[in-house]
Amino acid sequence: MGTRLYQLLGFKSDNWYEVKISYPASIPACFLLQPEERQL
């Protein structure tokens, strides 16, 4: 099983965000969204 890591910048902590994942339903998949605070 492969892993992808994406770095998303510019989010504000007081806002709500919606994540949409588009993936072929014919291929079994598991998604994990794990937000982390950026360490400065």
pTM as predicted:
0.41
- What dihedral angle (degrees, nearest 10) is formed by the CA atoms of 8, 12, 36, 7? 10
CA geometry: angle 31, 33, 22, nearest 5 deg: 50
Residue 20: C-alpha distances to residues 23, 32, 33, 36 (Å): 10, 12, 11, 18
* pLDDT per position as a tens digit, 1-40: 577 777 878 888 788 988 888 888 787 888 888 777 766 6
For the record, the structure tokens of 11 come out as 């989010």
